[in-house]
Amino acid sequence: MSFATVSEGANVRGETAIGYVEADATGRPVNVKLNPDLASSREYGATDRVVILATR
């Protein structure tokens, strides 16, 4: 899935996706990527997280 698709999903909820955190199988963060290329595709794992800016 492209980060553009992830970003669009966040936008629908009034949020802004600014990156993602790659995690190992235990959920421990191993890499943080901010401002990824919108066109690049990657497979997000079950323990990966999207970095979101949102207001309450």
Q: Where are the domains of the chain?
A: 3-53
3 to 13, 15, 48, 56: CA distances (angstroms):
16, 14, 13, 24
Residue 56: the pLDDT is 77
Question: Taking a C-beta distance cutoff of 8 angstroms, is the pair 24, 47 a contact?
Answer: yes
Q: What is the pTM of this model?
A: 0.87
Tokens 């492209």, residue located: 2
Question: Taking a C-beta distance cutoff of 8 angstroms, is the pair 9, 47 a contact?
Answer: no
* pLDDT digits 0-9 by tens, 2-56: 999 999 999 999 999 999 999 999 999 999 999 999 998 999 999 999 999 998 7
Residue 55: the pLDDT is 87
